[in-house]
Amino acid sequence: QSALTQPRSVSGSPGQSVTISCTGTSSDVGAYNYVSWYQQHPGKAPKLIIFDVRERPSGVPDRFSGSKSGNTASLTISGLQAEDEADYYCSSYAGRFTWVFGGGTKLTVL
Amino acid sequence: EVQLVESGGGLVLPGGSLRLSCAASGYTFSDYWIHWVRQAPGKGLVWVACINFEGDRTTYADSVKGRFTISRDNAKNTLYLQMNSLTAEDTAVYYCARGGHYLDPWGQGTLVTVSS
């Protein structure tokens, strides 16, 4: 049950795009299309923004998109806005009814 | 509106026990798996445990296996986490979250502090 690997921080200017990677193994990210992404603002509970690799819950702007290639999943945020500044976590089903999270990425909007 | 509300957190001595609760409303509780996830101060999210619809299948992270027990009471729409043999490393905000392969929504969390 090793954590998925995410960059500790990324940054971008308003209007730009940023991509956050999430690297796992052939036992979790690479094995299942059950990668999800969560946004967490300081002092708040996490919020689901992407599920099943690329699906967006209702109400999540289409500026947020997900993808996967092999053992690495990615979250892209286009048209960065100030309110996107938050921590982002990926998660994957890891088999045998266990789940694993990434270490989290702090997004700074410059 | 789907809502999850955790309670039961607090200060506990090392080696002690605590039981957390998560009250669910706004949906048919027994239709969903449900999870516990924790977050140590200033750290990332860590999956802790989950339980299936009827409560007869449970799984745990290695770090809590044998010490924590997840359970649910579908008649009371409530999820529980019994935590025993607590150590400082268990200090965290504990969230409950509805879901199968993805977690949505999450409760607001309850803080557990293990300290002498």
Average pLDDT, integer, range B107-113 = 98
* Residue of A51, A96, A104 lying closest to B102 (CB–CB): A51
From the CB of residue A73, how many other CB atoms can be counted at a distance below 10 Å? 30
Q: Do A45 and B106 touch (CB under 8 A)?
A: yes
Contact of B108 with chain A, judged by CB distance below 8 Å, is answered with yes
**For chain A, what's the residue count?**
110
Measured CA to CA, the distance from residue B43 to residue A57 in angstroms comes to 26
Residue B18 bridge partners (DSSP):
B83
Residue A99 bridge partners (DSSP):
A93
* Residue of B46, B59, B102 lying closest to A48 (CB–CB): B102
Q: Do B101 and A3 touch (CB under 8 A)?
A: no
| Whole-number Cα distances in Å, A26 to A33, A51, A77, B37 | 12, 19, 26, 23
- Asked if B68 and B84 touch (Cβ cutoff 8 Å), the reply is yes
Per the prediction, chain B carries an average pLDDT of: 97
- Among residues B42, B2, B45, B40, which one has the least CA distance to residue B22? B2
Q: For B70-106, write each residue's pLDDT tens digit.
A: 999 999 999 999 999 999 999 999 999 999 899 999 9
Q: What residues in chain A have per-residue pLDDT under 50?
A: none
Chain B residue with minimum CA distance to A45: B108
Q: How far is A79 from chain B (nearest CA, A)?
A: 25
In this predicted structure, what is the pLDDT of residue B100? Answer: 86
Q: For A30-62, write each residue's pLDDT tens digit.
A: 999 999 999 999 999 999 999 999 999 999 999
- Among residues B93, B84, B89, which one has the least CA distance to residue B111? B93
In this predicted structure, what is the pLDDT of residue A2? Answer: 83
In the numeric block, which tokens belong to residue A4? 């998925």
First to last CA, chain A: 35
Buried b (16+ CB within 10 A) or exposed e, B18-40: bebbbbbeeeebeebbbbbbbbe
Q: Which of residues 54-93 of B touch A (CB under 8 A)?
A: 57, 59, 61-63
Nearest-5° Cα angle at A61, A57 to A65: 75
Task: Quickly count helices (H) and strands (E) in chain A.
Answer: 0, 9
In this predicted structure, what is the pLDDT of residue A40? Answer: 98
Q: How far is B48 from chain A (nearest CA, A)?
A: 9
Q: For B40-68, write each residue's pLDDT tens digit.
A: 999 999 999 999 999 999 999 999 999 99
In this predicted structure, what is the pLDDT of residue A42? Answer: 96
| Whole-number Cα distances in Å, A28 to A20, A73, B24, B47, B73 | 18, 11, 29, 14, 30
